[in-house]
């Protein structure tokens, strides 16, 4: 991280899901929840509107007491970058899928992808890099480099690697915020 600059993190849907499913239920005193909300509030965590839309049916995120409730004014709108169109089609598409897609089908697949959270995370980062190269941004995702799904496009970490975009997971983000976790193993009786 560059000295004197505040790093910002663009969080994806998978990281939000991990947060509310596996971490916040054990946050007995609300410390982690308050930290996350303060990160959204001061701009360290960036919530894209498309990501909020993707998790809209998860009560722990978007319900009455959901983590994202009340953050509507903090959400960043969709970005569409015409200048990366060929890069997205020919570099971000999985090679084996690219070979099978006819040009008109590739165009349809590309247009559908631009409406997804994955594209929005990457496009937002690239847009900010072009407009404000001094910004220190990192993408937070729980995706891995392993290609284990039938989707047309590569996983976020693979694209980040090829585009030189800083990328980490929720635990990386929490460590950078100074969070330290302790785990206790309960003794088994019997």
CA distances from 91 to 62, 118, 128 (A): 34, 15, 20
| 179 phi and psi angles, rounded to 5 deg | -75, 135
Q: Is residue 190 part of a domain?
A: no
pLDDT given for residue 84 in this prediction:
87
Are the beta carbons of 41 and 74 closer than 8 angstroms? yes
Residue 83 counted as domain residue: yes
Q: Is residue 17 part of a domain?
A: yes
Q: Cα angle vertex 21, ends 17, 23, to 5°? A: 105
Give me the number of domains the chain comprises.
1
Question: Tell me, what CATH number does 30's domain have?
Answer: 3.40.50
Gap between the Cα atoms of 145 and 169, Å rounded = 12
User: Alpha-carbon dihedral of residues 17, 21, 22, 23, nearest 10 degrees?
Assistant: 80
Q: Looking at residue 145, what is its pLDDT?
A: 86
**Residue 51 φ then ψ, to 5°:** -70, -45
pLDDT at 96: 79
Range of the domain at 32: 7-176
Spatial distance between the Cα atoms of 83 and 76, rounded to a whole number of angstroms: 20
pLDDT at 1: 44
Question: Is residue 2 in some structural domain?
Answer: no
Residue 185, domain member (yes or no) = no
Q: How many CA atoms lie within 13 A of 179 on its CB side?
A: 18
Q: What is the largest CA-CA distance in the chain?
A: 65
Per-residue pLDDT of the chain (190 residues; tens, 9 = 90+): 444 568 999 999 999 999 999 999 999 899 999 999 999 999 999 999 999 999 999 999 998 889 998 898 888 988 888 888 888 888 888 887 888 888 888 889 899 999 999 999 999 999 999 999 999 999 999 999 887 777 888 899 999 999 999 999 999 999 999 998 766 666 766 6
Q: Is 119 exposed, middle or buried (0-12, 13-18, 19+ CB in 10 A)?
A: buried
Do the beta carbons of residue 169 and residue 142 sit within 8 Å?
yes
Question: 120-153: b or e for each residue (b if 16 or more CB lie within 10 Å)?
Answer: bbbbbbbbbeeeeeeeebbbbbbbeeeeeeeebb
Q: Dihedrals φ, ψ of 132, to 5°? A: -135, 75
The verdict on residue 111 lying in a domain is yes
Would residue 182 count as lying in a domain?
no
What does the alpha-carbon distance between residue 152 and residue 95 come to, in Å, rounded to a whole number?
A: 9
Question: Which pLDDT score is estimated for 184?
Answer: 66
Is 188 inside any structural domain?
A: no
């Amino acid at each position: 991280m560059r000295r004197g600059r505040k790093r910002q993190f663009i969080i994806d849907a998978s990281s939000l899901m991990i947060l509310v499913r596996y971490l916040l239920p054990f946050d007995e005193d609300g410390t982690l929840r308050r930290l996350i909300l303060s990160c959204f509030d001061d701009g360290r965590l960036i919530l894209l509107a498309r990501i909020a839309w993707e998790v809209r049916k998860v009560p722990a995120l978007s319900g009455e007491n959901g983590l994202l409730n009340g953050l509507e004014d903090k959400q960043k709108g969709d970005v569409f970058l015409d200048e990366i169109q060929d890069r997205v089609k020919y570099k971000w598409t999985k090679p084996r899928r690219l070979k099978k897609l006819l040009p008109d089908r590739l165009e349809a697949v590309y247009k559908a992808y631009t409406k997804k959270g994955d594209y929005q995370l990457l496009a937002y980062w690239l847009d900010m890099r072009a407009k404000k190269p001094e910004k220190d941004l990192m993408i937070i995702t729980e995706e891995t480099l392993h290609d284990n799904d039938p989707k047309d496009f590569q996983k976020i970490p693979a694209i980040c690697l090829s585009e030189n975009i800083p990328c980490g997971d929720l635990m990386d983000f929490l460590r950078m915020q100074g969070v330290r976790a302790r785990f206790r193993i309960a003794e088994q009786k019997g």
